[in-house]
Structure 1
Amino acid sequence: MAKYLISFPSAAMVIPDGEFEAVSRDAHAVIEEAKLAGVYVFGGGIDESVPPVLVAADGTAAEGGYPWAPTLDGGFCVLEIATRDDAIVWAARIAKACRCDQELRVFQFDPAS
């Protein structure tokens, strides 16, 4: 079994007027289905009201993330699934519920972590 990150940036989630409640309901429903199926690990969203802090190896901290990297924002969930094809099915279900494309990535297993 592998763990898959299913995510979207904030800009991808463009909800038509009057559909926010339906999107919220549908997104929570598919996550509840993942929990019932035993594949849900965790999920949430980046709190965009709190700016990132870049912490250097020497312990110094500076406001902001990597200046050369795209902004990390939006929502995500991690599911533990047997196959990539099954992960694609779950990502499609989440995409349909959220009304936006989802990016699927696999975590590399590190037994020491």
Structure 2
Amino acid sequence: MAKYLISFPSAAMKVANSELDAVGRDAHAVMREAKEAGIYVFGGGIDETVPPVLVSANGLVTEGGYPWAPPLNGGFTVLELPSSKEAIAWAARIAKACRCDQELRVFGFDPDS
């Protein structure tokens, strides 16, 4: 089975403040279903209150991430599924719960990492 990364950037979530509680409830319900199905690997969101730092091979720390790259933010989930068809179905369930489209990628899992 392959692992799939399902994610969205923060800017994709255009939800009224009055709807945030429902989004959280619905998203957590989908994650509980994934856990019960035994396909949940891990998930969460980038803490956007903590700015990134760039760490070089010699240990030098620079404020901010790669200056040429778009910011990494938003939420993500990794699920282990038997097919891309099932990954698309789960991504659609997450999109419905989060009220925003989800990006779907095969996660390059390295068992030696």
Measured against the shorter chain, the TM-score band is over 0.9
- Matching residue of 2:102: 102
Question: Which string of whole-angstrom CA distances, capped at 9 and with x for unpartnered residues, describes residues 2-48 of structure 1?
Answer: 11110000000011242111111100000000000100011110000
Match status 1:64 vs 2:64: yes
- CA distance in 2 between counterparts of 1:88 and 1:104 reads 7
RMSD: 1.0
Aligned-pair identity (%) = 73
Question: Which string of whole-angstrom CA distances, capped at 9 and with x for unpartnered residues, describes residues 75-96 of structure 1?
Answer: 1111011101100000000000
- CA distance in 2 between counterparts of 1:17 and 1:110 reads 39
Tell me the SS of whatever aligns to 1:18.
Answer: helix
Q: Please give the TM-score of this superposition, normalised by the length of structure 2.
A: 0.96
Give unmatched runs, 5+ long, in structure 1.
none
Q: Please give the TM-score of this superposition, normalised by the length of structure 1.
A: 0.96
Question: Which string of whole-angstrom CA distances, capped at 9 and with x for unpartnered residues, describes residues 49-68 of structure 1?
Answer: 00001001111110100000
- CA distance in 2 between counterparts of 1:28 and 1:108 reads 25
- CA distance in 2 between counterparts of 1:15 and 1:30 reads 18
- Matching residue of 1:85: 85
- Matching residue of 2:13: 13
Given that 2:78 and 2:107 are in contact with CA atoms closer than 8 Å, whether structure 1 keeps it comes out as no
